[in-house]
Amino acid sequence: MSLQRASLTHSTNSTSVADLLERVLDKGIVIAGDIRIKLVDIELLTIQLRLVICSVDKAREMGIDWWSDNAMFKGLSKQEPALALPAATAAAPGSASIEDRLARIESLLIKQGPAEVPAQP
């Protein structure tokens, strides 16, 4: 008579956190809940919670893009009004500071005069 041991099998197909996060951001997840506080059938407080977790691309597919018109996310302060430029001359955000820096560097190089460039082998 031979003894056979029952072996335990472990799952090798585990999902990592990165895989789970990729799935959630790709498909999206909605969490909804309501909290109501009543006292003798008089509603004192109602909190409605709606939370959508997804990627920016998925949110745009769903028609959610509130951050595109929000001054806080464009880097503008509340006191500084947004400049309305025609679409043809509108520059990318932050390009004005790059152009200013480039102009300062060019003016410094002009003031220094021609520099000797080492010969390359």
Are 58 and 25 spatial neighbours (Cβ–Cβ below 8 Å)? yes
Instruction: Give me the residue spans of the domains in the chain.
Output: 17-83+92-112
- Mean pLDDT, residues 68-87 taken together: 60
Q: According to the model, what pLDDT value does residue 33 have?
A: 93
High-pLDDT (> 90) share of the chain, %: 11
Place of tokens 């956190």: 17
Binned at pLDDT 50, 70 and 90, residue 86 comes out as very low
* Greatest pairwise CA separation for the chain in angstroms: 99
Q: pTM of whole model > 0.95?
A: no
Q: Which residue has the higher pLDDT, 72 or 89?
A: 72
